Amino acid sequence: MSEICWTEDLSVGNQAIDDDHRHLFALLDNLQHTMPQGLVTQDAATVVEDLAHYVEAHFQREEEFMQRIGFEGYVAHKADHDRFVSEVHALQSRLDRGAQTLTLDIDKMLSDWFRRHVLVLDMALAAAVKEKAGA
């Protein structure tokens, strides 16, 4: 089982956002450990709930920040956040309905999504912030 962790190449150059991302990768790694091979263990619901809370709080912080600075990419960025949140909610409701196994490699899917989101959209936000600061 490979470890899901934040790496330096994911840095957006903002300490608070990087710290949030580090924490989110740790939660995703935790999720991977509570659902080995898609088997739902006792802790899975708690881990997914923690992930849902944290991810929503983090996205809200980022979205408020984007609005504050009048970021042009806000709508597309928020839509990508919303997609992730709905995936996490879908996972929560499958667990609530008593799923014992999850056929999809859901932990990998979520961490791949998150990595791509940070590398593409959060990086674009970071670049816009730098540009504004330099203008």
Q: What are phi and psi of 112, to 5 degrees?
A: -65, -45
* Nearest to Fe ion of 18, 122 (CB atom): 122
Smallest distance from Fe ion to CB 12, Å: 9
Q: Taking CB under 5 A as the rule, does residue 18 contact Fe ion? A: no
| CA-wise closest residue to 112 among 17, 32, 15 | 32
Beta-carbon contacts of 72 under 8 Å, excluding residues fewer than 6 positions away, are 128
Nearest-approach distance from CB 10 to Fe ion, in angstroms: 12
Six token digits for residue 131 = 């540009």
In which residue are the tokens 């899901």 written? 4
Q: Which is nearer to Fe ion, 74 or 99 (CB)?
A: 74
Q: Which residue has the tokens 């608070």?
A: 16
x-or-dash pattern for Fe ion, window 107-126, by CB under 5 A? ---------------x----
Q: Is 44 helix (H, G, I), strand (E, B) or coil?
A: helix
Closer of 44 and 59 to Fe ion (Cβ): 59
CB of 97: closest distance to Fe ion in angstroms?
Answer: 29
Q: What is the contact surface with Fe ion in residues (CB under 5 A)?
A: 62, 122
